[in-house]
Amino acid sequence: MSKEHDKQTLAQRNNLIRAAVMGANDGILSVSGIVIGVAGATTNSFAIFIAGFAGALAGTVSMAMGEYTSVHSQNDAQVKAEKVQEVALQTQYDTEFEFVKNKYAAQGISDELATQATKEMMANDALGTTVRERYGFSLHHEVSAIGAAMASMIAFPLGSLLPMLAITLFPVKERVIATGIAVLIALAITGYSAAHLSGANEKRATIRNIVAGIFTMVVTYYIGTLIGH
């Protein structure tokens, strides 16, 4: 019971960390696009900073609310799936048993071994087994919607500080390039971290995040120069 609880706590903690990493990533990417775009239109440092601040404020609220809604909906779906399976096990246990056994057999396990494994799994935790095999998640691993929202709400403005500080502190002639380099380094870190936490391909995710950052900054800067001139 203690080990299972530790696994649940670790999974929930990892999900909150992932929400924070993605929040910081969005803060870096979104606000860098804003401040570099405005820098293309004007050299006024105060105007650039205010634009970045407004973007950071709006993004913080939007990110937190979006994360809360998303996680809450996911948790509601898991609770609903659990109730559906409770009824299914009471009314059609044999059907659920066959479903699980066939899933194991489809993985190349012999029919006899699949039957034995299903018997043991269903005897130990029929609800957890059928939920996992039908819906792909484990029971009681729900993420706190409020916790995820708070993680995003803190991480987004922290991520947005980097492009805002870089664009305002560096000399006018170097600030766009310097901000771009700082942002790309930060995006490489968050892209790698997010992939590592989710088990995705780290190299591919890092490159994809960097490319997204380059595209965002180039497009917004170009549009800014068109508007400014």
Give the model's confidence band at 10: pLDDT under 50 very low, under 70 low, under 90 confident, else very high: low
Average pLDDT, the chain: 86
Phi, psi of 199 (to 5 degrees): 80, 15
From CA 56, how far away is CA 107, in angstroms rounded? 48
In this structure, are residues 37 and 223 in contact, taking their beta carbons and an 8 Å threshold?
A: yes
What is the rounded CA–CA span in Å between residue 109 and residue 222?
58
What is the pLDDT averaged over residues 112-122? 88
Res 7 pLDDT > 80: no
- Cα–Cα distance measured from residue 220 to residue 36, given in angstroms and rounded to the nearest whole number: 7
Question: With bands split at pLDDT 50, 70 and 90, how would you rate the model's confidence at 229?
Answer: low
Q: What is residue 1's DSSP assignment?
A: -
- Rounded CA-CA distance 74/12 in Å is 13
The predicted model scores a pTM of 0.74
pLDDT of the residue at 210: 92
Q: What is the pLDDT of residue 128?
A: 87
- Helix axis angle for 175-198 and 2-41, nearest 10°, is 160
**More reliable by pLDDT, 144 or 63:** 63
Three-state DSSP class for residue 204: helix
Q: How confident is the model at residue 1 (pLDDT cuts 50, 70, 90)?
A: very low
Rounded mean pLDDT of 38-53?
Answer: 90
Whether residue 110 has pLDDT greater than 80: yes
- Residue 220, classed as helix, strand or coil, is helix
